[in-house]
Amino acid sequence: MSKVLKNALVLEKDFSLKKHTLYIENDRIADFAMGEVEDLDGMLIMPGLVNTHTHAAMTLFRGIAEDVDLNEWLFKYIFPREDKLTEKDIYIGSLVGFMEMVKNGITTFVDMYFYEDAIAQAAKDIGIRGIVARGLADTDGKGEKKLLLAEEFIKKHKDDLLVKGGFGPHALYTCSTDYFKEIIDVSKNYDLPITFHLLESPDERDNFKREVGIEPVEFLDSIGAFGKNTIIAHGTHLNDDELRLISKRGSTLSYNPTSNAKLGNGIAPIKKAVEVGVNVTLGTDSAASNNSLDIFSEMKFGPLLQRAKFHDPKILKLEEIFKMGTSNARKVLPFDVGTLESGMLADLIVVDIGNVSMVPKENMLANIVYAFDTASIKRVMIGGKWVYDGEFLTVDGKKVIEDFEKAYSDLNASL
Ligand SMILES: [Zn+2]
């Protein structure tokens, strides 16, 4: 199971590029290993990217609700379709979502959805690493059952190195305050990620205040929702004091620039978040609101939005944004990912530096962040296994697309 990758340029933790041999022993990078030698001359090896907020199965909803606001998008288009989804649909939708991620260089994901076994199966069939956080809501009166399922799933995957469970209380507007508190209490028994949507749209703050009588962040802090295992999705409308609190608590903020912009929700306060020391990562959100699952494009669009807003081209430097797409996630995930060092998981992508988007080679990090063409990704390795080399090595890509198209037509016919 050992591999020796020779002659490629390797993007190091300090962002230098060195031509050196990378040794892989089982699923990790090692100081030395004897094994199959591969010559990767003309290639660049970089860590795989991490997508900290997604709903992979929603590839089944790509393009179905364009040019509408979040409420209409969610209540008129998404929720009625979600009611009809079968476990088989979730499997095939997730499979396509994960295929797209891997093809675009994503090797780790944090997913929030339901039918967690089907999502985990899809991830394992592709060979992608991730957190499957059970989506939790109690608007249908079935909150308790869902929480039990989440715990069951977590226990089942306790020793799984590729897929682990997590908690996904959907949002303050889909979970009652008692239920949210219960989830947080239960989550404290496990050292695993807990993730929720927070202040994604402009009216969430006032709606919550009107119904509950206190500020959303104040409520969440009172129940201990902000800890080192917490990934806040969006946080588009967090204010300065709230960001300071989140930084103090050590939580992570998943910045989803494309989804926020596309749904007209605003620009997340990432300039401030970074200033006050919040750990920021990147997320695509789903194919229904993005519409692609590509962290390279978030690495470009994320800083551009901040710079356009503040008229400042110095916000989010190359190194900072690259860490948001890779190593910052390590602080909140139970996986050693994000840098190519000895002892870390061998999750990496091999890029053709002869691709037009990668020349001249003078500032490779700028090429990666601002000029990247995902067609330059030649191979993807996760946990020491090649899963993609222009085609999928783990699944029959053509057959998956056929099954997906059939599931999509059947779903629409059932509405
Ligand atoms: Zn989301």
Whole-number pLDDT of residue 69? 81
Element housing 178 (H / E): helix 177-187
For residue 82, report the distance from its CA to the centre of ligand 1, in Å: 14
For residue 239, report the distance from its CA to the centre of ligand 1, in Å: 20
Query: What's the pLDDT tens digit per position in 141-150?
Result: 999 999 999 9
Element housing 272 (H / E): helix 270-275
Coil/strand/helix, residue 93 = helix
For residue 107, report the distance from its CA to the centre of ligand 1, in Å: 19
**Positions of E strands within 208-343:** 230-234, 252-255, 279-282
How far apart CA 173 and CA 378 sit, in angstroms, is 42
Q: Is 396 exposed, middle or buried (0-12, 13-18, 19+ CB in 10 A)?
A: exposed
Structure tokens at 114: 């339901």
Whole-number pLDDT of residue 395? 98
Q: Is 289 exposed, middle or buried (0-12, 13-18, 19+ CB in 10 A)?
A: buried
Residue tagged 């682990």 (tokens):
164
Q: Domains plus CATH for the chain?
A: 3-48+339-388 (2.30.40.10), 49-331 (3.20.20.140)
For residue 291, report the distance from its CA to the centre of ligand 1, in Å: 12
Coil/strand/helix, residue 142 = coil
For residue 233, report the distance from its CA to the centre of ligand 1, in Å: 7
Whole-number pLDDT of residue 73? 84
Residue tagged 């700028």 (tokens):
366
For residue 112, report the distance from its CA to the centre of ligand 1, in Å: 7
Structure tokens at 322: 């690259």
For residue 260, report the distance from its CA to the centre of ligand 1, in Å: 10
For residue 170, report the distance from its CA to the centre of ligand 1, in Å: 8
For residue 54, report the distance from its CA to the centre of ligand 1, in Å: 6
Can you give the pTM of this predicted structure? Answer: 0.98
How far apart CA 402 and CA 395 sit, in angstroms, is 13
For residue 359, report the distance from its CA to the centre of ligand 1, in Å: 35
For residue 285, report the distance from its CA to the centre of ligand 1, in Å: 5
Residues 6+ apart with CB under 8 A from 99: 126, 392, 395, 397, 400
Q: Pick from 120, 97, 182: which is nearest to 146 by CA?
A: 182
Q: Provide the total of helices (H) and of strands (E) in the chain, helices listed first.
A: 15, 18
Please report the DSSP string for 309-375 in residue order.
Answer: HHT-TTSS-HHHHHHHHTGGGGGTSSS--SS--TTSB--EEEEETTSGGG-S-TTHHHHHHHS--GG
Q: What backbone phi and psi angles, to 5 degrees, belong to 338?
A: 110, -20
Whole-number pLDDT of residue 68? 87
How far apart CA 17 and CA 10 sit, in angstroms, is 5
Whole-number pLDDT of residue 1? 76
For residue 24, report the distance from its CA to the centre of ligand 1, in Å: 35
How far apart CA 24 and CA 11 sit, in angstroms, is 16
For residue 234, report the distance from its CA to the centre of ligand 1, in Å: 8
Query: What's the pLDDT tens digit per position in 209-257?
Result: 999 999 999 999 999 999 999 999 999 999 999 999 999 999 999 999 9
Element housing 134 (H / E): strand 129-136
For residue 78, report the distance from its CA to the centre of ligand 1, in Å: 12
For residue 174, report the distance from its CA to the centre of ligand 1, in Å: 13
For residue 57, report the distance from its CA to the centre of ligand 1, in Å: 12
Do residues 103 and 79 make contact, with C-beta atoms less than 8 angstroms apart?
A: no
Q: Is 186 exposed, middle or buried (0-12, 13-18, 19+ CB in 10 A)?
A: middle
Specify the amino acid at residue 90: I
Whole-number pLDDT of residue 178? 98
Whole-number pLDDT of residue 368? 97
Residues with pLDDT less than 50, the chain: none
For residue 286, report the distance from its CA to the centre of ligand 1, in Å: 6
Report the DSSP beta bridge partners of residue 281: 254
